[in-house]
Amino acid sequence: MKFDGAGIAITGSGSATPKAVIHNDDLSQLVETSDEWIRTRTGIANRHLLPEDSSLSELAAEAAKKAIAAAHLHPEEIDLIILATSTPDDLFGSAGKVQQLIDAKNATAFDLTAACSGFVFGLVTAAQYIRTGTFQKIVVIGADVLSRWVDWGDRTTCVLFGDGAGAVVCQSSPQDQLLGFEMYSDGSQNECLNLAYDGHPKYLIHDVSIQKGGYRAITMNGREVYRFAVAKVPEVIEKTLFRAGLTTEDIDWLILHQANQRIIDAVAKRLKLPSEKVIANLQEYGNTSAASIPIALDEAVRAGKIKPGQTVATSGFGAGLSWGSAIFKWGMPH
Ligand code: UT7
C-alpha cells in the first residue's frame, strides 16, 4: 500500500483478566452441559469473569497501562485512546473513563463498536491517524465483559464467553510495520449474532410515543457463524497477504479471534500453517470478544514467543457480521 504519511509500529502490549475463574464442571451445575461437550466442541476449559465490584473501564485501564509501560512511554505522551468494546460501562462510551484512570491527560478518547472484530478494526483505525500524521502515539484497547449480557440459563451461549482486556501501543515510525489489512461487513447476516435493544412503547404526550427499554441477552446462530468464520477468515487473510505481496510462508505467528479451537484449526489447515505457528489461549479464557486477540498477543510477547521483527497475522470476526485481518511486524524497527 502506498501512502505519503508516517509508518506505524506496534511497540508494546498489555492485558488484564479477572481473577475469578469458572471451569466447565462449574457450568454443568448451572445448565445441562458437560466438560466433555464444551472441550470437544469448542476447546474451552475455563473462563475468567469480572467481579461485581469492578468495571470494564478498570480492566481496560489495567491493560492499557501495561502496554504503555511495555512501550517505554508515559501516559501523558499518548495522543489517542481507541477502546474497542461492545460492553461499555456507559453507552455514551467508556474510553473517557479509561483516559482518566490511566492519567493520559493529553489523549482524545473514543469507543469503537465492532464486536469480535473490534480490535482489528481499532488497530486499522489507529493506523489511519498515524499515517496521515494526525496522531503519533495511540493506545488501542480491546475489552469486553460479555458475562453481563449472557443468559446464564442458555447452554448454547453461556459456556462460550469470558471477560478480559488487551491493549497495544501504536506509534509513528519511519518504517511501516503494518504490512496489510482488510475489513468487511455483511449486515444481511446481522441476525446471526445479536445483543439487541429491547424497547417497549411508552406514551409521552399528544400522539408521541417513544421506546423505553434495555438489552436482551446475547443470541447466536452458532452453526451459521461457524460456517461464516471458516469460509471468510482464511479468505480475508489470503487477500491481505496477496495485497501485501506476501505468502503464508512469511507468517511467523497466526492469532485469530479466540472463538472456537475447531475454527482456529480449520483456518490454519486451510492456510497450511503448522500448529506451532498458531497462538491459542481460549482454553483458559473462552471467547473474550474484542479482547481475545490482544490478550493472546500480549501473552505470546511476554512469553518470548513473538520476537521483534516477526510477522504476525491476525483476524477478527463476529457480530455485524464483520470480519477483518491485519498483518504486521511486531515491535519498533531498528
Ligand atoms: O465471537 C463471535 C464468533 N462466534 C463464533 O465464531 C462461534 C461459532 N460457532 C461455534 O463455535 C459453534 O457453532 C458452537 C460451539 C457455538 C456450537 O457447536 P456446534 O458443533 O455447532 O453445535 P450445535 O449448535 O450444532 O449443537 C449440537 C448439539 C445440539 O443438540 P441437538 O440439536 O443435536 O440435539 C445442541 O442443543 O449440541 C447441543 N448443545 C449442547 N450440549 C451440551 C448446544 N450447546 C450445548 C452445551 N452442552 N453447552
CATH architecture of 7-175: 3-Layer(aba) Sandwich (3.40)
| pLDDT tens-digit map of 3-16 | 456 899 999 999 99
Does the active-site annotation cover 116?
Answer: yes
| pLDDT tens-digit map of 106-154 | 999 999 999 999 999 999 999 999 999 999 999 999 999 999 999 999 9
- State the distance from the centre of ligand 1 to the C-alpha of 145, rounded, in angstroms: 21
What mean pLDDT do residues 161-184 have? 97
| 2: confidence class by pLDDT, cuts 50, 70, 90 | very low
Task: Bin 262: left if φ > 0, else alpha if -120 < ψ < 50, else beta.
Answer: alpha
Does the active-site annotation cover 106?
Answer: no
d(CA 76, CA 94): 18
Q: Which atom of ligand 1 is nearest to the CA of 158?
A: 48
CB contact burial 70-97 (16+ within 10 A = b; e otherwise): bbebebeebbbbbbbbbbbbeeebbbbb
Point out the catalytic residue in the list 48, 116, 170, 281. 116
Q: Which three cell numbers stand for residue 201?
A: 412503547
Phi, psi of 332 (to 5 degrees): -80, 130
| pLDDT tens-digit map of 194-231 | 999 999 999 999 999 999 999 999 999 999 999 999 99
| 334: confidence class by pLDDT, cuts 50, 70, 90 | confident
Instruction: Specify the pLDDT at position 202.
Output: 96
| 260: confidence class by pLDDT, cuts 50, 70, 90 | very high
Does the active-site annotation cover 158?
Answer: no
Confidence check: pLDDT of 308 > 90: yes
| pLDDT tens-digit map of 186-196 | 999 999 999 99
Q: Which CATH code fits 180-188+219-329?
A: 3.40.47.10
Q: Which three cell numbers stand for residue 28?
A: 454443568
- State the distance from the centre of ligand 1 to the C-alpha of 142, rounded, in angstroms: 25
What mean pLDDT do residues 35-41 have? 98
Confidence check: pLDDT of 320 > 90: yes
User: What percent of the chain is predicted at pLDDT more than 70?
Assistant: 99
d(CA 250, CA 321): 28
| pLDDT tens-digit map of 51-104 | 999 999 999 999 999 999 999 999 999 999 999 999 999 999 999 999 999 999
How does the average pLDDT of the chain come out, rounded? 97
Counting ligand 1 atoms within 8 A of each CB, the residue from 144, 156, 261, 285 with the most, and so the one to mutate, is 156
- State the distance from the centre of ligand 1 to the C-alpha of 183, rounded, in angstroms: 27
- State the distance from the centre of ligand 1 to the C-alpha of 160, rounded, in angstroms: 9
| 1: confidence class by pLDDT, cuts 50, 70, 90 | very low
Instruction: Specify the pLDDT at position 193.
Output: 97
Residues lining ligand 1, CB < 6 A?
A: 33, 37-38, 41-42, 116, 155-156, 159, 222-223, 225-226, 229, 259-260, 263, 287, 318
Residues of the chain with CATH 3.40.47.10: 7-175, 180-188+219-329
